[in-house]
Amino acid sequence: MTLPVTQTVDVIWWITAVEIPAVASLFWLHWRMRSELLGRVEQLRTRAETDASDLRDALAAFKLDVARNYVSIPYLKDVEKRLTGHLLRIEAKLDMPPIPGKKDLSL
């Protein structure tokens, strides 16, 4: 079965006038979206690298600030020893029996 000539021309006209521009438009749309997506991915990657670098710098600055401005471990151990000594002396005084002749002022 062969198509009449007018119907063949209509199909060719349809392909030429509608299908080819539609497919070309879809191809152009896909290409443009892909280009924009790649550009945005690159921007995000650059931003993430910059943010990570800034965070590393801020962490290093914070560590340096802590090392300079807060107590050192030896100083903290010294304070702990002195506090322990004072607490032991207080405990020893509390464990001593009361001296006869002194009033009990605890009431």
**pLDDT tens per residue across span 53-69:** 999 999 999 999 988 88
In terms of Cβ atoms closer than 10 Å to its own Cβ (0-12, 13-18, 19+), residue 52 is exposed
Q: What is the pLDDT of residue 95?
A: 86
Confidence of residue 106 (pLDDT cuts 50, 70, 90): low
**C-alpha dist (Å) from residue 16 to 9, 11, 19, 22, 55:** 10, 9, 6, 10, 57
Residue 10: phi, psi to the nearest 5? -65, -40
DSSP summary character for residue 101: T
